[in-house]
A and B are shown apart, each in its own frame.
Chain A
Amino acid sequence: MVVTESTVEAGLGGTHRLTTARAMVEAIEIEMRRDASVFYLGEDVGAYGGIFGSTTGLLDEFGPERVIDTPISETAFIGLAIGAAVEGMRPIAELMFADFMGVCLDQIYNHMAKIHYESGGHVKVPMVLTTAVGGGYSDGAQHSQCLWGTFAHLPGMKVVVPSTPADAKGLMASAIQDDNPVIYMFHKGVMGLAWMAKNSRAIDLVPEGLYTVPIGKAKVIRQGSDVSVVTIGLSVHHVLDVAENLAGNVDVEVIDLRSLVPLDREAILASVSKTGRLVVVDEDYLSFGLSGEVSATVTDVDPTMLKMPVKRVANPDTPVPYSRPLEYAILPRQDRIEAAIREVASA
C-alpha cells in the first residue's frame, strides 16, 4: 500500500514500516505518554507482551503500574476497567480471545455498554476493550471466532476492526481518545506475527507520531467499477488477493469497513450505486450478522440499485473446525470469494 494524502488522515511527518501489532502498540505508547490516565490491563500483557503482540514493549517503558497483568478473572478486571473509566481514567482492557466473552459478557454488554444510556448521559465510560479474533490456524471452535457481529448487535459500544498497520495505529489512537467504550478487535492473521502465516500487507508504511483514523469511516481500499466487495478484517486481504487476480476480467472495488459500529452505510451505498453488484465477505457467522446488515443497508434504501442478488461469503453457521481441510472449507478464503465475485459479475 502506498501511503497517500487520503490515507494519512491526521498524521504529521514521515512514515515507517511496521507490523500491524507494532503499529497498534505505537498508538498506545503515544497515548500513554500524552495522557497519564491511560493504562493497559489484561492477561499476559506485561512481561509476555500480549499473546498476539498487542503490548510488546509497553512494560519496559511504562512499568507494572500502567501495564498490568491480571488474574484470569475477566469479569473482575473488565469491570475494574469500567469503574476506573467512570472515575475519569482511560483504561485499555484486553480480553485475550473474543471467544472468551462468555465468561464476562455481562460486564461488557450490561455495564460497559449501557451505563452511559442508563445514566441519561451523566456517566461516561471512556475505555477500550481489545480482543483477538479470527481463525485459519487450526485453533478450533473456542479460539477462532470473530464474533464482531455479536458485539455490534448490542447497543452502546463502538466496534472497530483494523486490517492494516496504519489503520491499526490510527483506530487505536481514536479508540483511546473516544469518550465511549470501544471494542478494538484485531485479527490474529493481520498482526504480522513471526509465528503465524502473514499476509503480504501485514508490514506496511505507518505515519509516524500522533496519528488518528476516524471511527466509523470505511475506506475504499481498491477502486473498481464492476463489483463492490464489502468486507472487514483479514478478509480484506483475501479479497484484495482475488481482486488483483481478476484484474483485467472483473474490476473489483474493495471496501474495508474498518468498523461495524458505527457502520459507514454511505460508503456502502456510494459503491453499490456505482457498480450495481455486491458481494459481502465476512469471517463471522453468516446468519443474523454483518453480511445481512450490509445487504439490508442497500435494500432498505433502493433494491433496484442491484443488478444481481447480493452474494454473501461467510462462515456458514458452523463451529470453526480444528482439522485444516475442514476449517478451510468454512472460512471465506480466496476460492469462495473468487467464485462469488465471478457469479455476481456474470450477468
Chain B
Amino acid sequence: MTTTAPDRQQVGLDDEARLGLYATMVLARRFEEAILAEYHADKGPGFDIGKGLVPGEMHLAAGQEPVAAGVCAHLRSDDAITATHRPHHFAIAHGVDLGRMAAEIFGRETGLGHGRGGHMHLFDPETHFSCSGIVTEGYPAALGQAFAFVRHGTDRIAVAVTGDGGANQGAFHESLNLAACWKLPVVFVIEDNDWAISVPRSASTAVSSNATRARAYDMPGVRVEDNDVEAVYLAASEAVARARAGDGPSLIEVHTLRLWGHFEGDAQGYRPELAEVVGHDPIPSYETKLRSDGILDDSRRDKIYQQAGERIEQAIAFAKSSPLPDPSTARSYIFA
C-alpha cells in the first residue's frame, strides 16, 4: 500500500465523519458497559459463570472500538462482516439492531438467533453480519460472501476480522492465499491487542507486524499504530476502495488495546502493564483531539452520550422484557 497519506477531505474525513467515528465508539463502549453491568449483576456469591440474566462467556471489546469504527465507516449495509468471539463493536459499527443483539445476549426468543446463538454467534442477514467463536474461522466465510458478491455482479465487499493470535492459525494463511489468488473483494482486519488470551504477542508471533505477512500473499498490508481511529479510517478507505474496484484483497493490522480481560472473570494476573492500560483508552484521547480541533464541545458530547444512552436503555429493556425461548422448541432450526 502506498505510504503517502490520502487526502483527508478526499476520503470523506470531514467534521461530520469525525464526529460519526466518535459517536460510533461511544455507542459501542456504552453498550458494552451496560452489558458488563448486567453480566456481573447476578453472578454471585463469588463468580458463577453460568448464573444470571447474561450467562456464559463474555468477551468485551472495550478499547478496540477504533478498529470497528474506522473500518465500518466505509461500509454499506449490504457489505458483509465476519467478526470474532469479541464481536459487539463491529456489530454496532455495522448497524446491527441493538435490541435484537441485546436480546440474543440475554438468550431471549426475540434475539437475532432466537436465543440459539449467544454473544459469540450473532447472525444478522439484514446487515450481512456474522461472527464465530472459533479463532479466524470466520475468515473463510468472508471469502465466499465476497465470491458471491462478485458473481452477482455487484461491488459489495466482505470484511473478515481476527486478532493477532488468530494470525497464527492455518485458516488465516489459507484465506489470504485464496483471496489473493482469486482476487476477491475482501478486507482482512487484524486487531492486535498484544494478547492471545494470556500469551503475549512476543511469545507467539514471529513477525513484528502482520502486515508483512500480507506481502507473502502479494497483497497490500498496513499496520496502524497507536489505536488511532482516524488512521484506521484512512487505511480502510484505501483497502475498501481497492476491494470495491475489483482490485483484490488487502490486510490491515491495527495495534489496538484490550482494556478489560479476555473474558469477564479474567483476573489478568499475567498482564504487567495493566495499571497503565486505562491511560491509553482511545475514546477520551479522541475526544480531546476533537475538542482541540473545535469539532466537539460539551453540548455535542452530551448529545452523543444521551442518544447512545437512550438507544442502549431501550435495547436492554427490550431484551429483558422479551420472553425466554420455550424449552420445547430447543430442537427447532436444526434443519431448514
A residues with CB within 8 A of B: 70-71, 73, 75-89, 91, 103, 106-107, 110-111, 114-124, 126, 155-156, 158, 179-180
Say whether B137 contacts A83, CB under 8 Å: no
Say whether A116 contacts B148, CB under 8 Å: no
Contact of B147 among A71, A78, A80 (CB under 8 A): A80
Known: A80-B141, A83-B80, A89-B147. 10 other contacts (CB 8 A): A71-B178, A83-B82, A83-B143, A83-B145, A83-B147, A87-B144, A119-B113, A119-B123, A120-B114, A123-B130
In the bound complex, residues from chain A placing their C-beta under 8 Å from that of B130 are 86, 115, 119, 123
**Minimum CB distance partner of B148 in chain A:** A87
Contact of A83 among B124, B146, B170 (CB under 8 A): B146
Question: What are 19 A-to-B residue pairs whose CB atoms are below 8 Å?
Answer: A73-B174, A75-B171, A75-B175, A76-B171, A76-B174, A80-B140, A80-B141, A83-B80, A83-B142, A83-B146, A86-B144, A110-B133, A114-B121, A116-B334, A118-B121, A119-B117, A122-B124, A123-B130, A180-B336
Say whether B178 contacts A117, CB under 8 Å: no
In the bound complex, residues from chain B placing their C-beta under 8 Å from that of A77 are 140, 178
**Minimum CB distance partner of B184 in chain A:** A80
Say whether B116 contacts A111, CB under 8 Å: no
With contacts defined as CB atoms under 8 Å apart, how many contacts are there between chain A and chain B in the complex? Answer: 149
In the bound complex, residues from chain B placing their C-beta under 8 Å from that of A84 are 144-145, 147-148, 151
> How far does the alpha carbon of A226 sit from the alpha carbon of B117 in the complex, in Å?
49
Question: How far in angstroms is the closest Cβ of chain A from B191?
Answer: 20
Say whether B158 contacts A120, CB under 8 Å: no
Dominant secondary structure of chain B at its interface with chain A:
mixed
**Minimum CB distance partner of A126 in chain B:** B336
Please, how many residues of chain B have a CB less than 8 angstroms from a CB on the other chain? 45
In the bound complex, residues from chain B placing their C-beta under 8 Å from that of A85 are 144
Q: Identify the interface centre among A88, A111, A120, A123: most chain B CB within 10 Å of its CB.
A: A120
In the bound complex, residues from chain A placing their C-beta under 8 Å from that of B174 are 71, 73, 75-76
B residues with CB within 8 A of A: 80, 82, 111-117, 121, 123-125, 128, 130, 132-134, 137, 139-149, 151-152, 158, 170-171, 174-175, 177-178, 181, 332-336
Question: How far in angstroms is the closest Cβ of chain B from A165?
Answer: 27
In the bound complex, residues from chain B placing their C-beta under 8 Å from that of A111 are 132, 134, 137, 141
In the bound complex, residues from chain A placing their C-beta under 8 Å from that of B146 are 83
> How far does the alpha carbon of A178 sit from the alpha carbon of B137 in the complex, in Å?
25
In the bound complex, residues from chain A placing their C-beta under 8 Å from that of B177 are 71, 73, 76
Say whether B144 contacts A121, CB under 8 Å: no
**Minimum CB distance partner of A66 in chain B:** B151
Closest 5 CB pairs of A and B: A79-B140, A83-B144, A120-B114, A119-B123, A87-B148
In the bound complex, residues from chain B placing their C-beta under 8 Å from that of A180 are 335-336
Say whether A118 contacts B117, CB under 8 Å: yes
Say whether A116 contacts B140, CB under 8 Å: no
**Minimum CB distance partner of A36 in chain B:** B151
Say whether A106 contacts B335, CB under 8 Å: no
> How far does the alpha carbon of A123 sit from the alpha carbon of B131 in the complex, in Å?
13
In the bound complex, residues from chain A placing their C-beta under 8 Å from that of B149 are 87
Question: How far in angstroms is the closest Cβ of chain B from A127?
Answer: 9
Q: Identify the interface centre among A85, A118, A155: most chain B CB within 10 Å of its CB.
A: A118
Known contacts A76-B171, A79-B143, A83-B144: does B137 contact A117 (CB below 8 Å)?
no
In the bound complex, residues from chain A placing their C-beta under 8 Å from that of B145 are 83-84, 86-87
